[in-house]
Structure 1
Amino acid sequence: MQKLNLPSYTFKIKSNEKHYLIFDEIRKKYIVLTPEEWVRQHFVQLLIQEKKYPVSLIAIEKQLVINNLKKRSDILIFNSNGTPDIIVECKAPSIKITQDTFDQIARYNLKLNAKYLIVTNGIEHYYCIMNTKDENYTFLRDIPEYKN
């Protein structure tokens, strides 16, 4: 798999007849190792190991319904009150991050009302804090570490 602009982590990887699989410690199962999944697993480890977010507050591919369509957020981090705090949209490294990517995560956030939005393809990362009053967002240099 491609080297990412994220810290390196050790993963459990195995193969079956068709695919390589990576163990997802949040979902507690092996998942097909796609380029997007490679980015997602690295970003989850960044959140846990570097930013100290508890595993218990992280959800992967959480389903939501938008305009009667079922969608899934890549990574959703809840605060200690159980409300969404951070949405992370992951793309494969070969996918360029465009306005469409920001529009996608913004649509999810209309439903979830998270404070922070993150878009990453493993190479480029964009961090935003939402201002719901003025209906805009401000780019940040990094995401905050977990605070209780």
Structure 2
Amino acid sequence: MPVELNQKINLPVLNLPHFQPDLLQDEGKLWIFDSLRKKHLILTPEEWVRQHWVNFLINHHQYPRGLFSLEKGMKYNQMNKRTDLVVFDRQSNPFLLVECKAPNIKIDGKTLNQIMTYNTKLNCPNLILSNGLKHLFMEYSLEDQKFIQRASLPECPK
């Protein structure tokens, strides 16, 4: 039977706004409530980062909940892959792809290659690669015909 946590848990402080997640402990494992899927998920370092991004996009940038898709499955070279977070525009086109890494994973060429690989199937014009501490924002430039780095998050999709 899950129990609510009363003791202090040491979780990494991220470079995203703080929020109070609903955490539970069951059979020695920590669980975090995913407000989009309406269920508790095992709290992994990557999930910690993803839930912060969900909170940030919805509560600080007014991205509508109904435009989110978490762990969207896709095939790439006959392999099953899953995106961490995709936000669609109001015409149901992929708008933003967020790839979340654990805080101890470097944002480097390997992780950049992963998000670019996923995006060959999705064609999102905006990408975010984040380990919760460091964030890389990218936007597709029609003029340059390539992704360029941005300074900040794109505005909520229209």
Which residue in the other structure is 1:15 paired with?
25
Q: 2:99 aligned with 1:89, yes or no?
A: yes
What's the % identity of the aligned pairs? 41
Point out where structure 1 has 5 or more consecutive residues left out of the alignment. Answer: none
Point out where structure 2 has 5 or more consecutive residues left out of the alignment. Answer: 1-10
TM-score (structure 2 length as normaliser): 0.90
- 1:81-111 alpha-carbon deviations (Å, 9 max, x no partner): 0011000000000111110111111111110
| Higher Cα Rg, which structure | 2
Mapped partners of 2:145, 2:108: distance in 1: 20
Per-residue deviation, 1:113: 0.4
1:51–1:144 CA contact under 8 A, matched in 2: no
Query: How many corresponding residue pairs?
Result: 148
Q: 1:31 is matched by which residue type in structure 2?
A: L
Query: 3-state SS of the aligned residue for 2:41?
Result: strand
Query: 3-state SS of the aligned residue for 1:96?
Result: coil
- 1:54-86 alpha-carbon deviations (Å, 9 max, x no partner): 000011111011111110000000000001100
Mapped partners of 1:18, 1:68: distance in 2: 36
Query: 3-state SS of the aligned residue for 1:110?
Result: helix
Q: Which runs of 4+ in 1 moved over 6 A?
A: none
Which residue in the other structure is 1:71 paired with?
81
- 1:23-78 alpha-carbon deviations (Å, 9 max, x no partner): 00111110000111100000111110111110000111110111111100000000
The alignment's C-alpha RMSD in Å is 1.2
Which residue in the other structure is 2:3 paired with?
none
